[in-house]
Amino acid sequence: MAATDSTAPQTGAAATTQGISKTTISVAGIALDVFGLSELSPAQNQVSCLWLHHGRKGRRQNLAQFAERVVSAAHQDTKKSSHGSEKRGLIVVAFDQRNHGSRTADPLANGTWRSGNKRHAQDMFSAVTGSVVDTMHLIDVLEGYLWLESDGDDGGAASTGADSAESEKRKKVIDQHLVLGVSMGGHCAWQLLFEDPRVAAGVVVIGCPDYMHLMSARAAKSKLSLDSTSFIGSVHFPPALVAAAKRWDPKGRVFGTGTIPSPSSAPSSTSAKQAEFCALLDSTAIQGKKIQVLSGGKDNLVPYSAAKPFLDWFKDAITGWYKYAGVEVEDNVYPEAGHEFGEDMQKDAVRFVLACMVRAGGSSIVTTGGDASGRKLEKGTIGSPKM
């Protein structure tokens, strides 16, 4: 079922997990729900951190059930592991995006043109990019709030059992950051993957890497009156927003306001255009990233058609002339899904996160369970859309 403007994206609730710890801390005035801290064993000194970004009109609690689910799956995977991942644990962090949940300053700014918000494009982009910046800062400082470093002033006292346990805790390090975003949070995930080299992989759920295309299509459906011949650059998508999209949005960073070429017109291996595209992509942080894209075939709010031109071009690039960058994309479309994070999507997202954790531990990735369609994906495989 497609979500309306008055609701957050639907999240499937078929598989719930009880008993996973949640610790709420305040960092830079932002409340963070950290799932899985108590489940980390003393031996798990390497920690993967999955950052969750909820959708427009949502709040951090919307993804709590998924957080419990993926931590539980990682915990179970560690118990039966034979590939060394018993040394790696997982925590999941959720926080309210800009102007959402406990951080809401202006409820109208989370609405669309149809609901009376004349600055819909500006407001949503600001919330997206602001939340990306928040995540980058939180990555900088989070460890200092979870495992405080020793102040070195023990007075020469003999070590106790408690001291030893605390010392072991201090050895833990977050050495892998992952992101999962839903809807507006999916736009955040795309931007974060292109911006921050510390974020190794991401799951984009009903999100879009081409903000100008997404908003242009939405404006047409909303029948906006324009003060110019083009929506891009009009009062509804002003020049300052165009400049911001060129700075932060994946498509904008590579093509600006220009048209995305089809894969059939890809530059030759010796062309100046290829060198230009390589330089543009190399100037981002996308190298080596693993990306899973989960889209609803019946999503009318963030339709797959808005992302498809960039995705087709990008997938062609990373399997051809930009293969040296080591980027992998698994692109799944669920034909009957609307604007939602449904059960099949959640299963595939959990599989992907666990596979990324295995990779971080130095083991080759083999996903034994396959995805929701029964397809098995192995290291180096680029998933094609499920239509």
Task: Count the neighbouring beta carbons within 10 Å of the beta carbon of residue 20.
Answer: 20
For 157-181, what is the mean pLDDT? 72
The tokens for 220 are 């047409």
Do the Cβ atoms of 90 and 172 come closer than 8 Å? no
- Which helix (H) or strand (E) segment is 69 a member of? helix 64-79
Answer yes or no: is pLDDT of 376 > 80. Answer: no
Is the pLDDT at 186 greater than 50? The verdict is yes
State mean pLDDT over 341-353. 98
Report pLDDT digits (tens) over 299-309. 999 999 999 99
Q: CB within 8 A of 140, min separation 6: which ones? A: none
Instruction: Quote the pLDDT of residue 225.
Output: 83
pLDDT winner (highest mean) among 13-27, 181-195, 352-366: 181-195
pTM equals: 0.85
Residue 147 binned pLDDT confidence (cut-offs 50, 70, 90): confident
CA–CA distance, 179 with 203 (Å, rounded to integer)? 6
CA torsion 75-80-85-91 (nearest 10°) is 0
d(CA 107, CA 116): 11
**What is the share, in percent, of the chain residues with pLDDT greater than 90?**
72
pLDDT band at 18 (very low <50, low <70, confident <90, very high): low
Rounded Cα gap, residues 91 and 79, in angstroms:
16
Distances (CA, A) of 33 to 18, 21, 22, 48, 57: 16, 10, 6, 16, 18
Q: Is a pLDDT exceeding 50 seen at residue 381? A: no
Asked whether the predicted pLDDT for residue 364 surpasses 80, the reply is no
Report how far Cα 23 is from the mean position of its chain's Cα atoms.
22
- What is the pLDDT at residue 319? 95
At residue 262, the pLDDT reads 84
Supply the pLDDT for residue 148: 53
Distance (Å, whole) CA 44 – CA 99: 36
State the pLDDT at residue 97: 98
- pLDDT at position 273 is 85
Q: Which position has the higher pLDDT, 156 or 162?
A: 162
Q: Are 16 and 144 in contact (CB under 8 A)?
A: no
Task: Render pLDDT for 254-290 as a digit per residue (tens, 0 to 9).
Answer: 999 999 998 766 666 568 888 999 999 999 999 999 9
pLDDT of residue 31: 97
pLDDT of residue 218: 96
With a cut of 70, say whether residue 123 has pLDDT above it.
yes
- The answer to whether residue 318 scores a pLDDT higher than 50 is yes
Report, in this order, helix, strand and coil percent for the chain, each rounded to 5. Answer: 40, 15, 40
Tell me the C-alpha distance between 280 and 46, whole Å: 33
d(CA 49, CA 383): 24
Identify which of 251, 348, 366, 369 has the alpha carbon closest to the alpha carbon of residue 294.
Answer: 348
Q: How many alpha carbons fall within 13 Å on the CB side of residue 230? A: 10
Banded model confidence at residue 207, pLDDT cuts 50, 70, 90 = very high
- Phi and psi at residue 266, to the nearest 5°: -60, 150
What is the residue extent of each domain of the chain? Answer: 20-145+165-360
Closest CA to 318 of 346, 349, 367, 284: 284
Segment 172-200 mean pLDDT: 97
pLDDT(365) > 50: no
Q: Is 150 exposed, middle or buried (0-12, 13-18, 19+ CB in 10 A)?
A: exposed
Query: Mean per-residue pLDDT for 37-54?
Result: 94
Query: Any idea which of 74-78, 290-294, 341-345 has the lowest mean pLDDT?
Result: 74-78
Query: Cα(353)–Cα(256) distance, rounded to whole angstroms?
Result: 32
pLDDT at 161: 54
Tokens of 347: 């299963």
| Spatial CB neighbours of 130, under 8 Å, sequence gap ≥ 6 | 97, 98
The larger pLDDT score, comparing residue 164 to residue 367, is at 164
pLDDT at residue 385 is higher than 70: no
Question: Which has the higher per-residue pLDDT, 19 or 186?
Answer: 186
Flag whether pLDDT at 250 surpasses 80.
yes
Query: What's the CA gap between 120 and 385, in Å, rounded?
Result: 30
**What is the CATH architecture of 20-145+165-360?**
3-Layer(aba) Sandwich (3.40)
